[in-house]
Amino acid sequence: MILLSLIVVFLGISYSSSEPVQAKRFTVNLDLPPQERWVKIMQEYRQYTPTIIKDVQNFFPKPLLPLIDRLALYLDKYFPAPYPDELRGIASGLNISLSNAVLLNLVYDFSAFCTSIVAQDTQGNIYHARNLDYHFTADLRKLTFMVDFRSKGKTVYSGVVFAGMIGLVTAQRPKAVTITLNERDQGFLWENLIMAILRKEAIPVLLEIRQITATENMNFSQAVTLLSKVPMIADAYLIVGGINPGEGAVITRDRTAVANLWKLDPPTRWFLVETNYDHWTTPPPSDDRRDPAIKAMNETGQENVNGAALFKVLSIHPVLNKKTVYTAVMSAKNNGLFNAWVQQP
């Protein structure tokens, strides 16, 4: 009986500790000078920066760190405005070096394991959701928040970020487009850094996503075209959702060109699931999040798909796993749906 009681208590603790936590939400005022936009937000996270900087530097190959110093030295040459000044504000708010601020914004370009789903219901509404999985997960959970970029009192676009990031891996422009980024593990880290140094036009994809969602009159087709053409530092999967029926796509990118464009085609292909492997290949048994997600989507059915249903699919094991940092759900047509939860699996 004592053993049974202990098991019941343990199961209760395990269940309560797995409940997702609503991510904090902040506003970035785009009407402020770029160097001032992030400072107050970053000051709230300053206590965590020594740990995360240590994590990132340990993850990053030490011989490549001098290249980051060079990027920081010529920041205005490599990054388009207003991002250099925003990075200076990030460094000030977090009380870190400009090199470390640059490093925080590059490292997510190189290694983020994720699951993204874009789906269409029977009424033609598009839903988009994602899990973001990463290294040093416990620390990143403390740094995760949503941000609304506002101008003249209006939300222009929104995203989910980690403290220190100015680019977006999860983004929405209301009544226009949603975008998520998944890592595509091709090549070597040093190749990505050389691309960043030698090709001025190849900006981090996180900044490109932000540029696109910040663009007035942006739509799904334009976003797909831009994300298909832009020179990139690293290979990636870019998952895009729109506001009209059929507007969902996975863009499989090489650094310089599109490897594959995979689109929704209802009613037969009413959802797309992308993890971190080319969709026309078989994922490794050690990391097969795709097949459980597909099975759960088929069991859900197109007639039942909505934001809550996608959250449920992303909450099953191993789609949700010990490296999952957060889950986000959005729909450009219904901008009020945009939300994110920090996971505690």
CB 228 within 8 A of CB 205: no
C-alpha 158/C-alpha 209 separation (Å) is 11
> Is residue 264 within 8 Å of residue 257, measured between CB atoms?
no
Q: What burial class does residue 239 get, using C-beta atoms within 10 Å of its C-beta: 0-12 exposed, 13-18 middle, 19+ buried?
A: buried
Contact assessment for residue 115 and residue 319, using Cβ atoms and an 8 Å cutoff: yes
Of the residues 114, 160, 196, 320, only one is catalytic, namely: 114
- H-type alpha helices, the chain: 2-17, 39-43, 49-59, 65-73, 75-78, 83-94, 98-107, 137-142, 189-198, 205-214, 220-229, 290-300, 307-313
Tokens of 178: 């949603």
- Is-catalytic flag, 181? no
Q: Hey, CA dihedral for 199, 203, 208, 211, is it positive or negative?
A: negative
Q: How many CB atoms lie within 10 A of CB 295?
A: 13
The residues assigned a catalytic role are 114
